[in-house]
Structure 1
Amino acid sequence: MNTIAKATTAALLISNLALVACAEKEQTPGMPAAGTVLSLRMADYEGAGQSLAGENEITDFKACIFEEGRMTHIYDNIQASGSGYALQLDSHSGTLYVLANTGNQIDLHELQSQSLDEQSWLKQTMALDREAPVHFFTGSVKLDEMSSSQTTIPVTLKRGVARFDLQVKTAGVARIKSITMKNTAGKGLLFTSDAGSLSPEGVERAESSVRFDEPLTANTQGVMYLYEQSNEGLEVTIEAEIDGVEKSLSKAIDGDIRRNTVYTLTVRKDVIDVEVSLSFDEWEEGGDTELTPARR
């Protein structure tokens, strides 16, 4: 059977800056209570699907709030503060969007200057970086559905990419030289679309390939990453040497590629032939692991 990667939940507590107020002063309706904590949880691996080195690392962190369809607040390049990040919420109003590892691709100030509406915001995309997808995270929460006295606000972050692991199940010796995925999308949506295509409209498609300097001979995690995308002719090809014989194994992918999901490519050999099989399982909620701010 294929390895099924499960998920854990990563927790990050982000305390807002202290709100200065006299004890006798009545709190304004809609304003968050002093000491409000933003609790971020990130889907992660457990068991055989544990996170690989660097997969939980955060290089940049930003957020924004949309109220009545317009971007009204920006929290850009939020800095680490102790074990978390400092963030101040002025009120429990609108929808808070949280982004991590989007770098210069998402410029919140530029988007705000364009009077971007919320519907267009949800169609923003991430491009490839050096021909590979960016390991970014996004999440959101509707603030106006929460009581102004609520001191903990949960936000769940999900990766914008899917991960592919390799599993080798052959009786003889298998040497995996390369993996190629045909018709992959060159951009991914910043947030999952609730309706319609999982890919940006009119996105260009091409081949995504990885060639190993040393052929793989055993199970290997993280051999390829792809953005979430609709399936428009996705096909995987594995070039391998099995028992000294060169093989080119191909298989059409069934279904769409979902973010925050682990797929397992399995190379088998039986008495009939060698085949490539594909299986997947979404990351599920589990124990807690803290998001790691990048060290500078």
Structure 2
Amino acid sequence: MIRRLLLAGTALAAACAAGSRGTPTAAAPALTPAPGAPTPTATTEGPSAHRSDAVRYGPSAVRYVLHRRLHIQQALGDQTQAQDVGARIFVAAAITGPADTIGYPTTFLVDSIVADSGTPPPIVDNISKVRKLVFAGRVAPRGEFVNALASDSVAAQSVVQLLGNFRDFLPRLPIDGIRPGVAWTDTVETTQKGSGSEVSRRSITHAMAAAWEDRLGTRTVRVEGSQTYRVAGGGKNAGQPFELSGAGAGSGVAYIAADGRYLGGEWQDSTTLTVRLPVQGVAVPVVQVTRTTVAVLP
């Protein structure tokens, strides 16, 4: 059981490095730096002029429910073990203007987190305690949430595997915005620090603004994307050191309203990992499938 929980924790550490896909809130007091920040390394985009009809992120206030589910399968000797972990995260996002040289002032308020049935008790205990956790920072023109500060650094560390500090909550867009037919490619490197772990990830994402659609009664651009990535890292879980490495692929769809609001979407990826436990002298193959859906709340 201890080893099973250990591997569940290390797989969650890898999940924190995997991409995914309300009302204004006051700035939180005593803000402390939240761990992890994305560093774009290269970007190529199809030809596009800076047109007024392009869709870009802008001021908005939207409430979301983010449902993240992980299926973790690992081989121990001649036995295969499986674990399902999931949670619904209720979030209020407020993007306000005017923008400064970095981007729009933004807050993500985590109102509450509700674990799915079957999630291991230690994880349930951690996430169920989170209430009114605020991440404050800037949304850059392409959608990255940068310069993130958490109102409670301890609570932020305990749920970083599920939240990722919202660094990739908004889909990345070209600097000139999107309209149907625009395609682009991103290469991004991130390092995510969690409770006792640090995982790096290098991803290559291909995306395209496919078409206008009506979603929630709003004119919306559907963005389709696919991604490949590699992860590596390590740390300690339950006092035991671990190392991990692996690769994966994912795909999904997101919806951006004509007025710049993110209206949700879904993403699925599959990762093949090798988790090494030096103390036990074993290397355990792990397959992890992550499904993320984001829906707008009334």
TM norm. shorter chain > 0.5: no
Larger Rg: 1
Which structure carries more helix by proportion?
2
TM-score w.r.t. the length of structure 1 is 0.30
Which structure carries more strand by proportion?
2
